[in-house]
Amino acid sequence: MDAPGRHAIPKDVPAAEAREDVRPVLIDVLGPVAAASAQPGKRVFLGNLAGAEDAAALTSAGITETLNLGLNLCPGPLALGDGTQVRRYQIGLIDGPGNDPHLLAAAVVTVRGLMGSYGPGKPHYPPHRPGHLLVHCRGGRSRSVTVLAVWLTLCHPQAFPDLDAALAHLRRLRGLGPEHPLPPMLDLAREVIARGLAGRAGGA
């Protein structure tokens, strides 16, 4: 999985994280979201790098697009069993202090855009078909959860009226304690929402 030059994976992670990071994690965040999507039934998944690089796992989940939020990760081209090329999007964030809030906002807006439309491409583009979206970082515990929590707060305010409600939902799905996401990511998320950098609640 860790091809030289593509990933800068930390070596000093807790043993439990290290064991988990080698297996695909793909979690359906909300189920069908037809009301918020121009693509009926499109779903968004929370996951990790191993999931983003596992063609069989992506195929089984119906995922054809990935948004990588790791500045230190560079998932390569990937073909699914039917010849579909996975579309890769990336907005690199540091898992900790040092991010500009506009970068986090850009990631949230990207999720909004990908969930709200489908670009059919052109004849010379790699073959592609509509499918679900995977939002991932290395482990799917901090950066991805932060971005998806802001997206849920802004795009599904009836179910998630504030960031804390969205975080509780994602932590429950992912099996996380209060230590994730990391505090600097949560501070950033609250700033993005307070300043309206990713739009206001109620948008698709």
Percent pLDDT > 90 in the chain is 75
Condensed to tens digits (0 to 9), the pLDDT of residues 103-120 reads: 999 999 999 999 998 988
Helices 183-195 and 163-174: crossing angle, nearest 10°?
Answer: 140
Q: What predicted TM-score, i.e. pTM, was given to this entire model?
A: 0.91
pLDDT tens digits along 7-27: 867 778 787 777 777 799 999
Residue 172: its H or E element: helix 163-174
From 29-33, 42-46, 94-98, 161-165, the region with the lowest mean pLDDT? 29-33
Residues near 131 by Cβ (< 8 Å), separated by ≥ 6?
Answer: 42, 62, 63, 64, 65, 84
At residue 17, the pLDDT reads 77
Query: What stretch of H or E contains 127?
Result: none
Least confident of 70-79, 146-155, 188-197: 70-79
Name the average pLDDT for the chain. 90
The letter for the amino acid at 98 is: G
Assess whether pLDDT exceeds 90 at residue 202: no
Q: What is the pLDDT of residue 123?
A: 92
* Four-point Cα dihedral 194, 100, 144, 96, nearest 10: -110
Residue where the block lists tokens 């010849």: 83
